[in-house]
């Protein structure tokens, strides 16, 4: 059974959550299509994910994208479909160790068969995700470090609104070691990553018109500064999302 399709004007979006065994590594499998017949200009916002993008072109490849450090402009070609695996940073050292650090705003071309499956085999999104899940599980050759798993669990459950000191204490891992790990894998400090996750956690609130801090910002001014830093605009303009400019807002589920 195919996962439900979310249609927002000219953009079609379908997302599949990962199976439990790879939930620490993968946030989602998703497919996005421009069905308008014309190019759509969009702005991509930081969301704390590492993306592996499969190309449907004649020359198939996979592009590994580092974290976004700020808003970036792009254009979705007409009649274009994009299939992506969004990874959590924990995946970097287990699946992409030969490509570390995966620097912010970087793009690295991987072989078309890096995950043991190519788009030639794409028949059904659910089936494709099931195959990828099996193959990704097999690619993890060593047991995961429990400190790293706990670190990201804490970041996600608090929406990034947690201090480096508290993370260090709860993981029994020094702040220096955590920061070195973060910089050596995803190219940013722990604090920066937490700020990006907190920014992302504000999307649903802002889209609903709640233009005040819900995610432990110090005050309204701090909230506005942080939103403008990562989105390039103030919360009011982000909420308006004129012409579906901000792609993550255009693909948010109704809520």
Could you list the pLDDT tens digit for every one of the 255 residues in the chain? 556 666 556 888 999 999 989 999 999 999 998 888 899 999 999 999 999 999 766 567 899 999 999 999 999 998 888 899 999 999 999 999 999 999 999 999 998 889 998 888 887 888 889 999 999 999 998 889 999 999 999 999 999 999 999 999 999 999 999 999 999 999 999 999 999 999 999 999 999 889 988 878 989 999 999 999 999 999 999 999 988 899 998 888 765
Residue 130: CB partners within 8 Å, gap ≥ 6?
Answer: none
Closest CA to 65 of 28, 94, 107: 107
The CATH architecture of the domain made up of 5-139 is Sandwich (2.60)
Strands 50-54 and 62-65: antiparallel
Residue 192: CB partners within 8 Å, gap ≥ 6?
Answer: none
Spatial contact of 112 and 61, defined as CB atoms under 8 Å apart: yes
The domains of the chain are located at 5-139, 146-242
Strands 11-16 and 40-44: unpaired
Pick the CATH number of 146-242 from 1.10.10.60, 3.40.1640.10, 3.10.20.30, 3.40.50.2300: 1.10.10.60
Element (H, E) at 73: strand 72-76
């Amino acid at each position: 059974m195919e996962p439900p399709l979310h249609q927002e004007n000219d953009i079609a979006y379908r997302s599949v959550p990962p199976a439990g065994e790879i939930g620490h590594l993968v946030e989602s499998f998703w497919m996005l299509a421009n069905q308008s017949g014309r190019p759509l200009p969009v702005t991509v916002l930081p969301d704390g994910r590492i993306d592996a993008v499969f190309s449907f072109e004649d020359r198939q490849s996979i592009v590994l994208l580092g974290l976004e450090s700020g808003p970036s402009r792009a254009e979705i070609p007409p009649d274009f479909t994009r299939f992506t695996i969004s990874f959590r940073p924990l995946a970097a050292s287990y699946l992409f160790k030969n490509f570390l650090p995966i620097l912010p705003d970087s793009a690295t071309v991987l072989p078309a068969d890096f995950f043991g499956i190519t788009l030639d085999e794409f028949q059904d999104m659910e089936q494709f995700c099931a195959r990828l899940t099996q193959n990704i599980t097999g690619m993890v050759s060593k047991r995961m470090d429990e400190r790293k798993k706990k670190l990201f669990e804490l970041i996600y459950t608090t929406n990034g609104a947690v201090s480096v000191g508290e993370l260090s204490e709860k993981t029994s891992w020094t702040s220096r070691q955590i920061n070195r790990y973060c910089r050596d894998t995803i190219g940013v400090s722990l604090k920066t990553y937490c700020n990006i996750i907190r920014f992302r956690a504000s999307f649903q609130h802002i889209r609903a018109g709640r233009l005040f801090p819900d995610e432990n910002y110090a005050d309204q001014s701090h909230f506005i500064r942080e939103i403008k830093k990562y989105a390039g605009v103030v919360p009011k303009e982000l909420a308006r999302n004129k012409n579906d400019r901000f792609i993550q807002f255009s693909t948010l589920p109704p809520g």
